[in-house]
């Protein structure tokens, strides 16, 4: 099962909890978070507890929608996005990796769009994540 490493409803994860749990990927988490805030200065950050099955996740929102989710795992994390059709079309024509494009194309279509989760274990996908953030914020 793909569950947060933080499952205690009574304890909102701290930066220290993240540092310990994410290990070498903690700086990447911070880079992504700061990148969103640099691009969208009024973004709201919040921890969200989604129940016992999923635990705590971190999300960054604008006034109406979630820009992205950061999902803590043991020694790594996932970045989750939901893209509408317009953004999906732009991504499919972008320089984002074929792996991400394929994942997006095969994602189930919901009313709010297609959701993808990208596993982050090193900096290799950082440029793709930044490009996805740019596309999300421009649409």
Residue 9 lies in a domain: no
Is residue 34 within 8 Å of 128, Cβ to Cβ?
no
SS3 label, residue 47: strand
Residue 8 lies in a domain: no
Residue 59 lies in a domain: yes
What is the predicted pLDDT for the residue at 52?
83
Number of folded domains that form the chain: 1
Is residue 89 within 8 Å of 45, Cβ to Cβ?
no
Q: Mind listing the pLDDT tens digit of every residue in the chain (139 residues)?
A: 578 899 999 999 999 999 999 999 999 999 999 999 999 989 999 999 988 888 999 999 988 889 999 999 999 999 999 999 999 999 999 999 999 999 999 999 988 899 999 999 999 999 999 999 999 999 8
Residue 42 lies in a domain: yes
The rounded distance, in Å, linking the Cα atoms of 25 and 104 is 24
pTM, two decimal places: 0.93
The CATH code of the domain that includes 69 is 3.90.1150
What is the predicted pLDDT for the residue at 111?
87
Q: How many CB atoms lie within 10 A of CB 24?
A: 11
SS3 label, residue 60: strand
What is the predicted pLDDT for the residue at 64?
83
- Helices and strands: H and E segment counts in the chain: 5, 6
């Amino acid at each position: 099962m793909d569950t947060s490493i933080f499952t205690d409803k009574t304890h909102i994860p701290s930066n220290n909890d993240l540092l310990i749990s994410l290990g070498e990927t903690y700086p990447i988490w911070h880079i992504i978070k700061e990148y969103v805030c640099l691009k969208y200065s009024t973004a709201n950050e919040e921890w969200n507890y989604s129940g016992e099955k999923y635990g705590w996740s971190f999300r960054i929102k604008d006034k109406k929608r979630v820009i992205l989710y950061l999902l803590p795992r043991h020694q790594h994390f996932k970045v989750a996005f939901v893209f509408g059709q317009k953004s999906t079309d732009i991504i499919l024509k972008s320089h984002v990796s074929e792996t991400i494009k394929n994942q997006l194309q095969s994602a189930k279509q919901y009313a709010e769009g297609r959701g993808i989760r990208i596993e982050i274990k090193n900096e290799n996908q950082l440029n793709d994540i930044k490009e996805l953030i740019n596309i999300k914020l421009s649409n």
